[in-house]
Each structure stands twice: as C-alpha cells, then as structure tokens.
Amino acid sequence: MRLRNVKGSKETIAASPLVIQNITEKKGHWNEIFEKEQPLYIEIGMGKGQFILEMARRNPDKNFIGIEKYSSVLVRALEKCEEFSGNNLRFIRMDAETITDVFDTHEISGIYLNFSDPWPKDRHAKRRLTYRDYWNRYNEILKPEGKVIFKTDNRPLFDFSLEEAVAAEWTLENVSYDLHHSPEAEGNVMTEYEAKFSSLGHPIHRLVASR
C-alpha cells in the first residue's frame, strides 16, 4: 500500500522534542533521555501511536520508545501526544533492520510488535519483523528476562512467526489464536488496526516469546 505523503511531516518531526535525533549516539544511554531511569520498552512499527501512547499512560513506572520508519505515520503519533502530560515516552524514526546499532546489549526490557507488515510474497520473507534474523537481533538487545509480544490478525504471518521464533531458539510462553476471547484479553491495549479488524470479526492472534 502506497503511503500518502504528509506535507511538512519531516519538519515537524525534526522540531519535536519527543523525537530523538542522532540515535546511534544514544546506544547504551537511552534511559538518560528520560526524567527517571526505569525499565525501557519499545514498539517496533508503532503506526499512528495509539498503543504506545496508552501504554505510557497506564505505566508511568516504565519508559517507552515508539519506532516508526515512515515520517507521514510518525507525525500522526505526535499529534496524538499533544495532550499527553507524561515524560516517559519518546519516538525514533528508523528502520528496524539497524536496531542493534541503536540499542545496546540487554538494554531493552520488552519489545512489542503489533500488526507488522506481512510482506506476503515468499521472496520478501526476510523483511518480516518476525523473520529469524530479527529474532536474533531482539535476542541481542533484550535483557535476559525480556519478552517479545507479537499481535496480528494475519494467520499466515502468525504461523510463520511461530515457526521462526522456534527456529531462532526462542520459547513460546503463550500463544492465542483468538486473543479477545481468551484470559489474556483482560488489560489488553488495542492498536488502531486491532480495533478496526476486531470490529469486523477478525480474530486477533498473539504470542509471547522469551529465551
């Protein structure tokens, strides 16, 4: 799907104090950009930011970074933050492929992957955020007790993700093929896509993986 360019988005992002620049210089020192040193969680491919913003609101004892590679999408997340008074949320514009250049070994407490691009063609499998090379990158930056939580409505992508996690030697702690009708539904924070797809009757799939 072709993304519509939002006029002035790059300028808005560059001027926002919530968007961190010179990100490779922050490697190993990310908690220093927050008011308090707290466990740090990231969402990769955060879209318009509904999930990460709500997580920051509900969890003031944790720090959050939303990662998005498209300026036209990131700017919408910034708009949502205009009434957010907390100081535990920041954003980065980057491609997840270089994530180990940005975060240090065992620097992250948890990773959220929500409704990632499925890249449905087989030849594009390596671009999926749950391809085994990405699992290896997550292993490097996560704390030993850290977890990856992945949600999607795309069953082929979900099945692929389960296989890739196991191939990368991760442990599947919890797997749900219908999250909203499971015990894990309590406390679940929805993304924009999740609200849309679930309203259409699509089951939401979710996995939790650890080492």
Please list the active-site residues. Answer: 117
As a whole number of angstroms, the distance between CA 58 and CA 52 comes to 10
Q: Both tokens of residue 99?
A: 């994530």
Containing 67, the helix (H) or strand (E) segment is strand 63-68
C-alpha distances in Å from residue 40, one per residue of 59, 115, 211 = 11, 21, 18
The torsion of the CA quartet 13, 14, 15, 16, rounded to 10 degrees, works out to: 50
As a whole number of angstroms, the distance between CA 207 and CA 129 comes to 14
As a whole number of angstroms, the distance between CA 159 and CA 205 comes to 10
Q: Which amino acid is at 139?
A: N
Q: Coil, strand or helix: which one is 152?
A: strand
Q: 172-182 burial, b if ≥16 CB within 10 A, otherwise e? A: eeeebeebeeb
Total residue length of the chain: 211
